[in-house]
Chain A
């Protein structure tokens, strides 16, 4: 029973991990940009949520997800319009990578100077500590909610991309940004909304992180690595693969922690490495 509980908790944690990777996968899938500042944006959203919650103590912290996500959309839109599009235009995939790398260093160290390096956390009150009994298993209400939110996010993105006009335009732009111009689509504007949406997803992940564990400005690097592992494990550009990848990593980490209390991440890393060696294009990737 103990083991099953660990696996279930791992799956719940995996939902959050999947969400870490979602924004990264979207940006890479559409414009082939590896956003190295992704981890910093997760942490930035966590700080934003913590600050808002401190200003209005009566409001349930989870409600702040919405304004933070909307703000993140604006930040992402502006970031893409002002900086990243220029770097994408060079045609060298290294340029936007290095640009976001510079951005990551700026953001991380500005956060260090602004918030200090003491660990912070967002206290979700009774809700984050409550649990329910399910078939004799004790399951936290908050991890369950986090997984539900992550699943909704994945569904929403999948629906947006496959069922809406906007999704068709995004997919067409991703396939060939030159041809879509002939149909009257401005690729840069598509990229702007995609980056905005990606950061909105990222902000949700950041808020959930803040409610789950404590964080410092340096937490971004670790989250970026998890996000990368999730995305690559699933196969770059595949959203459902990323969700599955997140689950696999979550389970590996918690099982690892159970066997070997201070090295849970080691087992997640080992799983990642082994899968990648066996299937170099990830779980959902097509064979080469």
Chain B
């Protein structure tokens, strides 16, 4: 790792450690929300940006992760913090189970297929009485947690999840699997012809993104201590993820970070500071998305990268030097 990377990591750790001493609970909650959204956007981008699978149904994993955490922690008296990774793992298993079915569908078929899957899960959950049906459930296992430090600890968990998401995608893209995924993204036919298993690459990205969304979704609703089918399986989760990824720059690691910053700056700017209530911030974001698509179809970071050549998370590889000299000797 380069010194700059270590410095950035140290800076992040310091910031995260110091934040609870400086900020009140409201700010920490907003911080958690931002960081978890960033993690989800990274996961959506991993799938759409690197393997070309545009999912309209990732809210399924967010909702399933949240419900699993709520149900199991209450039923078996397990501390909810311990269950967040289990919620992610359960979503990964769910994704692995439905992948063979969904991967038979291509392009728009896949996008709509997974959306319908999410709707099915949504209706089933809202019909299940043990899960509170349409009215949802409260986090009853809150009796197991220390309410004094709950907000702070949730914030720290969120910072860890965001770090794992960004660092994980970066590490993945530098690995053999990631190289294969980028090759599939750029040219599926060419990638297949050099022996890359497209199906396996997509499968890995799908399972990882489900894990991440389940983990982040469970943590998000744990923080709010209440989940309903309407909120957990809200299609607006995907709307937000798409926005962030599109505006920031699809298929880049920097893009979702930039997009998340812009998303929350617009939302908070409109509602909290400018006092413009309701949906106007969404109108503004829609307009931003339209303009970005017309002016810079690869998103803001894509534009920066093309025009300035900046790289935040280098994933470029130096090919081995061609054997010109001494090759014949």
Contact = CB atoms under 8 A, between A and B. Distances in A.
A113 B293 contact: no
B117 interface: yes
Given A83-B294, A101-B246, A236-B108, A265 B119 contact: yes
Interface string A109-140: 11011000000000000000000000000000
A168 interface: no
Contacts of A103: 286, 290
Contacts of B54: 94, 97
Contacts of B285: 102, 105
A98 B299 CA distance: 11
Interface stretch (A59-67, A159-167, A196-204, A267-275): A267-275
A189 interface: no
Interface stretch (B34-42, B70-78, B200-208, B276-284): B276-284
Top 8 nearest A-B pairs (CB, nearest first) are A102-B289, A106-B286, A105-B286, A109-B279, A102-B290, A109-B282, A99-B293, A266-B123
Given A34-B108, A107-B286, 4 more contacts: A103-B290, A266-B120, A273-B113, A273-B116
B302 to A, nearest CB: 11
Contacts of B46: none
B23 interface: no
A211 B104 CA distance: 38
Interface residues of A, number: 43
Q: Is the interface of B mostly helix, strand, loop or mixed?
A: helix
Nearest to A265: B123
Given A99-B293, A101-B242, A280 B105 contact: yes
Interface in A63-108: 83, 86-87, 90, 92-95, 97-99, 101-108
A266 B124 contact: yes
B191 interface: no
Contacts of B235: 221
Contacts of A87: 293-294, 297
B297 A95 contact: yes
A102 B119 contact: no
A169 interface: no
A97 B289 CA distance: 11
A97 B250 CA distance: 13
Interface stretch (A7-15, A45-53, A147-155, A225-233): A225-233
A276 interface: yes
B189 interface: no
Contacts of B265: none
Contact of A105 (B101, B117, B282): B282
Contacts of A34: 108, 111
A119 B95 CA distance: 36
Given A97-B54, A225-B115, A232 B293 contact: no
Contacts of B106: 280
20 contacts: A90-B297, A98-B289, A99-B289, A101-B242, A102-B287, A103-B290, A106-B287, A109-B280, A109-B282, A109-B286, A113-B279, A232-B112, A262-B127, A266-B120, A266-B127, A270-B120, A273-B113, A273-B116, A277-B101, A280-B109
B10 interface: no
Contacts of B108: 28, 34, 228, 232, 236
B289 A229 contact: no
B112 A109 contact: no
A20 to B, nearest CB: 14
B97 interface: no
B30 interface: no
Interface in B119-153: 119-120, 123-124, 127
A112 B278 contact: yes
Contacts of A106: 282-283, 286-287, 290
Contacts of A113: 278-280, 283
A153 B309 CA distance: 52
B239 interface: yes
A275 to B, nearest CB: 11
Contact of B116 (A83, A236, A272): A272
A141 interface: no
B290 A83 contact: yes
A99 to B, nearest CB: 4
Interface in B156-206: none
A263 interface: yes
